[in-house]
Amino acid sequence: MVKKISVDTAVLTDPSTAAADIDRCLNTMLYESRPVYIGVPVDMSHRQISGEGLKTPLKRELPPNDKAQEEKVVNEIWSMVKSAKKPVIILDGNTVRNNLTAEANKIAELTGWPYLTTCMSKGGANEELPNYSGVYGGGGSIEEVRKVVEDESDFVLWVGSFRTDFNTGELTDFVDEKKTVDLQRFFTKIGGQKAKSSKVEWDPYPLPEAAKEKKELKQDFLWAALSKIIKAGDLVVGETGTSAFGLAGTWYAKGSSGYNQTIFGSIGYAGPSFTGALKAAKEAGTVNRGILVTVEGSLQLTAMCFADLLKLDLKPLIFVLNNNGYTVERLIHGKQASYNTLPVWDYKQLCTVFGPEHPSKYHGPIKDDSELHKGECFQLVELVLGELDAPWSVGQVTASIEAFNQKHAPKEAGTSMGG
Amino acid sequence: MVKKISVDTAVLTDPSTAAADIDRCLNTMLYESRPVYIGVPVDMSHRQISGEGLKTPLKRELPPNDKAQEEKVVNEIWSMVKSAKKPVIILDGNTVRNNLTAEANKIAELTGWPYLTTCMSKGGANEELPNYSGVYGGGGSIEEVRKVVEDESDFVLWVGSFRTDFNTGELTDFVDEKKTVDLQRFFTKIGGQKAKSSKVEWDPYPLPEAAKEKKELKQDFLWAALSKIIKAGDLVVGETGTSAFGLAGTWYAKGSSGYNQTIFGSIGYAGPSFTGALKAAKEAGTVNRGILVTVEGSLQLTAMCFADLLKLDLKPLIFVLNNNGYTVERLIHGKQASYNTLPVWDYKQLCTVFGPEHPSKYHGPIKDDSELHKGECFQLVELVLGELDAPWSVGQVTASIEAFNQKHAPKEAGTSMGG
């Protein structure tokens, strides 16, 4: 089964080939930057194998490009760059996964072109650049962004594009391939034909109406409030669904980093991923503080990660949006359906159950955020929200899907997004 | 990926064949008594399909055997039965899974032969029969049982055998195939050649020394104490590992039923399985009370099932053996290893976190079991045990594996069991 989700697999049944099998899998993993699987049978785990392979270091760098081919591609891109009158740059998910955000930020800084991120790559772009222009997500974008990318631009430098249902507005992205250069790990895709400097004429962090209201707490309040909380040295992880979509509209300070996954719609991934990533980043010294944003429906699947966060003393700051059920699912189908309703938990006791020996703090709905900045222990912030409250972008994508379906699909067809 | 673990699969992409695909999968599922997979794409879920297939009922019974073949097999078995001087019957896992325990119990009652169960089939045998003789599990059996099955018997009627690492003592079972008749869903296996009535000359529920001690609480105390708690109408589910092994030595009252899985060693399975099975059994009216026995290491993987048990008002009785880490793993490798140590939880608060609106009770180590019998709400019993305390049978299997390895395998080989 694992072969379907691995680029290479080996089950070590022969001591004479085990070392070579391990080296081959590790080199493939590094080359492809994708998972491999190595199975170690119990009765093999104590066998002695040759150490000869250790003399050859693993290959940690990609082989160089073919010189002639590279020159041809660079020239083609350069001629498009020179003739472009309305160019834009999109930093997308594969730039982050391939660890090339510094290079992308440099291009954005040097050119001054409108610089966009996507939901998946949120946290990769330097949002303090004057030309940072917001988040492109097909029909889920703010109208100014959608217009400049899809309608007005004549050249799109799409660095590490990653078109998926969750990343680009349920495939409601319509960017002409002919004007696009897509830079990927193993290939560069050049569309065709036809610039310089720009000033952002819209607010990349528009404050939704809901965030301005003072009556009832709304999700959109949080996304704006977090802009004041995230600072350099923070690692921000957003759960699949509303959290990742909502965080796309938050200002990430330069020197902070972000992570979410918009590839497979698997809710519950965020807590354990956050725990592992924060442990690794703190050990590597690359992060000061971890911030997790999740929703109670997702948290209920993997809340046990709180026990590890406490045991490992990682002092996270965690926001739980409690909207009494699966909100995105309610918006799509079954607003009052019993399967969209969840057991009611008492979140303020979670930390004392999962780590009674460790210090932790629970905060009710945010009133004053000064305490949150200290980060001296595990902090849990619960926001109690309306059942159908969601980030504005989710509403927009839902409407966009609806419009698309009405236009293209048979009457009874529909599409869905998790969370 | 799912093809590897399903007997049939269908992804419904064509409305004209969807109905036939669904019927085929359901009939295969009923025939094989194994899982099938039906994928419904989002844009197909609202399509109309033909209802014609609904006129043909699903096949809920296996086709009849070939008459001549059946007669030949029955005669062969009958001749072995007649000439047997020391026969035994083992009711094994596939009897329970094929819903044939009533038939097996009838044979055991009529013949009076020593009647054994295995770990996997525990809960299937009528343990109130005078010839009920205990649990056979290879090297993990009590010596009297091992001797009568392996050394002394001349005929073994093994009903639905299921030889796995977890079920039959890490494959330390040595029953001569020549004296064995194995009855399965799709075949009968008859070994070869050569009785009547018997009296059990040993105690099928031997009280281990640990259960008699009054100083420190030991697991083996629980297995004996549960013999007084389990009654008709109870459904008992044991977690993989120590719980399933320990429960094998508990007396199950006639009319109670049991379930565990000794096929794949996946800890954490028990809580959610128990929740689903109890919900179904209560709806079907076949069970009065559900009893779950688990260990804290397994519970920490899927403790969220408590929220559903509370929400669904299933009023379970749950025993959590808290021995501060992965005990079986400690016994095999790494007695003090950090990876065998778990976060410390506060179990007495679990129910108020997962279902603050529902009544629940927490009991410290059992002193008086009268309260447990009432079953008027969710009851959680926590037993705090020594780190290396395990059921006697686990110690015996471990020793048995060790002896086997010393004899058969290269010096550095080993084998493992989860839990």
pLDDT computed for residue B324 by the predictor: 85
Taking residues B324-352, report their average pLDDT.
85
Best probe of the A interface among B2, B6, B42, B398, by most A CBs < 10 A, is B42
Pair of tokens at residue A293: 């944003």
Same domain, A77 and A49: no
Q: Are A124 and A104 in contact (CB under 8 A)?
A: yes
Cβ pair B355:A349 closer than 8 A = no
Is the CB of A304 less than 8 angstroms away from the CB of B307?
Answer: no
Is residue A305 situated within a structural domain? yes
Is the pLDDT at A417 greater than 50, yes or no?
Answer: no
Q: How many residues does chain A have?
A: 419
Asked if the structure places residue A199 within a domain, the reply is no
- Pair A133, A72 in one domain: yes
Size of interface A-B (CB pairs under 8 A): 86
Is the per-residue pLDDT at B374 higher than 70?
A: no
Structure tokens at A108: 């954005």
pLDDT level of residue A293 (50, 70, 90 thresholds): very high
Please, what is the Cα angle at A182 between A180 and A186, to 5 degrees? 155
Residue B193, pLDDT score: 34
The residue that leads in pLDDT, A419 or B231, is B231
> Average pLDDT of B154-178?
81
The pLDDT, as a whole number, for residue A375 is 63
B201, part of any domain: no
Give the pLDDT confidence score for residue A298 in this predicted structure.
93
Q: Which residue of B has its CA nearest to A347?
A: B353
CB A376 within 8 A of CB A360: no
As a whole number of angstroms, the distance between CA A173 and CA A150 comes to 8
In this prediction, residue A23 has a pLDDT band, given cuts at 50, 70 and 90, of: very high
| DSSP code of residue B65 | P
Is residue B133 assigned to a domain? yes
The pLDDT of residue A407: 65
- Output the domain CATH number for residue B133: 3.40.50.1220
pLDDT category at A138 given cuts 50, 70, 90 is: confident
Give the whole-number percent of chain A exceeding pLDDT 70: 87
CB neighbours of residue B30 within 10 Å: 15
CA distance A187 to A216: 49
Give pLDDT, residue B372. Answer: 57
Pairing of strands B188-190, B180-183: antiparallel
In this prediction, residue B20 carries a pLDDT of: 95
How high is the mean pLDDT of chain B? 84
Q: Say if B77 falls within a structural domain.
A: yes
**Angle (nearest 5°) at CA B134 between B133 and B135:** 140
Flag the least confident range among A204-208, B247-251, B373-377: B373-377
DSSP label at A147? Answer: I
By C-alpha distance, the chain B residue nearest A301 is B304
**DSSP codes joined into one string, A391-418:** -HHHHHHHHHHHHHHHHHS-TT------
B122 falls within a domain: yes
CB contact under 8 A, A353 and B345: yes
CB atoms within 10 A of CB A27: 16
pLDDT of residue A253: 92
* Largest pairwise CA distance in chain B: 71
A301 touching chain B per CB within 8 A: yes
User: What mean pLDDT do residues A311-327 have?
Assistant: 89
Question: Are B182 and B215 part of one and the same domain?
Answer: no
Q: With contact defined as beta carbons under 8 Å apart, do A216 and A131 qualify? A: no
Q: Residue B202: inside a domain, yes or no?
A: no
Residues A364-377 have pLDDT tens digits of 654 444 555 556 78
pLDDT at B202: 81
Comparing B219 with A374, the larger pLDDT belongs to B219
pLDDT tens column, A73-114: 889 888 888 888 999 999 999 999 888 999 999 999 999 999
| pLDDT(B151) > 70 | yes
Chain segment B305-318, per-residue pLDDT in tens:
999 999 999 999 99
In this prediction, the answer to ipTM > 0.85 reads no
Taking all residues of chain A, what is their mean pLDDT, rounded to a whole number? 84
Tokens of A282: 């703190």
A178 with A104, same domain: the answer is yes
- Same domain flag for B308 and B368: yes
Q: Which of A311, A353, A413 sits opposite B350 (nearest CB)?
A: A353
Residue B263 and residue B150 share a domain: no
- Which of A43, A300, A338 to probe by mutation at the B interface, max B CB count within 10 Å? A43
DSSP letter for each residue of A165-210: TTTTTTT-----GGGEEEE-SS-EEE-----------S-SS---HH
Tell me, yes or no, if B166 comes closer than 8 A to chain A by beta carbon. Answer: no
Q: Tell me if A62 is assigned to some domain.
A: no
Mutation target for B interface from A275, A301, A354, A380: give the one with most B CBs within 10 A.
A354
Q: Is B352 on the interface with A (CB under 8 A)?
A: yes
Q: What is the pLDDT of residue A416?
A: 44
Write out the two tokens for A53: 């392979």
Angstrom CA distances, B212 to B218, B219, B395, stand at 9, 11, 17
The answer to whether residues B47 and B76 belong to one domain is: no
Residue B93 has pLDDT above 50, yes or no: yes
Q: Do residues B122 and B248 both lie within one domain?
A: no
For tokens 């408590």, what's the residue?
B306
Q: Quote the number of domains for chain A.
A: 3
pLDDT digits (tens, 9 = 90+) for A376-407: 788 888 887 877 778 877 777 777 766 666 66
Residue A356 Cα, gap to closest chain B Cα (Å): 6
Q: Kindly report the three-state secondary structure assignment for every residue of B200-234.
A: CCCCCCCCCHHHHCCCCCCHHHHHHHHCCCCCCCE
**HSE-CB of B245 using CA atoms within 13 angstroms:** 32
Contact call for residues A260 and A237 (beta carbons, < 8 A):
yes
- Asked if A310 has any chain B CB less than 8 Å from its own CB, the reply is yes
Task: Compute how many other C-beta atoms are within 10 angstroms of the C-beta atom of residue A264.
Answer: 11
Q: Are residues B217 and B361 in the same domain?
A: yes
pLDDT, residue B419, reads 42
Residue-level pLDDT at A210 = 64
Identify whether residues B174 and B240 lie together within a single domain.
no
Q: Print the domain residue range for A222.
A: 209-394
Q: State pLDDT tens for residues B290-305.
A: 999 999 999 999 999 9
